[in-house]
Amino acid sequence: MSDSTTSSIDRVFDLVDSVVDKADRVLNRTKHTEEQQRIRRANRAEVDTAPSVKVKDAPTSSTALATRPRFYIVEAIAAESGETIFIVTDGAHARAECTTRELAQKILRMLMEAPR
């Protein structure tokens, strides 16, 4: 009998403690927030703010090399229709889909002959 009475009294006090803690957090929200921020700041790693030593770079050439993208034709089958299509691409972002190889070859020639 005494064990059940003691455990029920403990539960009542636990409930009262949790209600008091919640009320304290709501009423003293700024105090708790400042404490949490202080703890977070203390746990942060130290950041090295010393200026780094600057090493002079060797003089560089101002010559720039411009390269042309290399276009090529890829033969594929269209997923929707199942027909053969010819894709002119540079392997990255440029892409043109053609229904005939002749049209794809014309586009490829125009791309290769285009001025830089």
7: containing domain: 2-43
- Per-state percent for the chain, helix, strand, coil, to nearest 5: 45, 15, 40
Q: Does any domain span residue 81?
A: yes
**From CA 83, how far away is CA 99, in angstroms rounded?**
9
**Domain count of the chain?**
2
Whether 26 maps to a domain, the answer reads: yes
Q: State residue 9's pLDDT score.
A: 86
Q: What is the per-residue pLDDT for 71?
A: 86
Q: What is the mean pLDDT of each run of 10 residues along the chain (116 residues)?
A: 80 87 79 75 63 62 62 88 90 85 91 76
Domain-embedded: residue 101: yes
Find where tokens 């125009």 sit: 110
Instruction: Please give the pLDDT value at position 67.
Output: 63
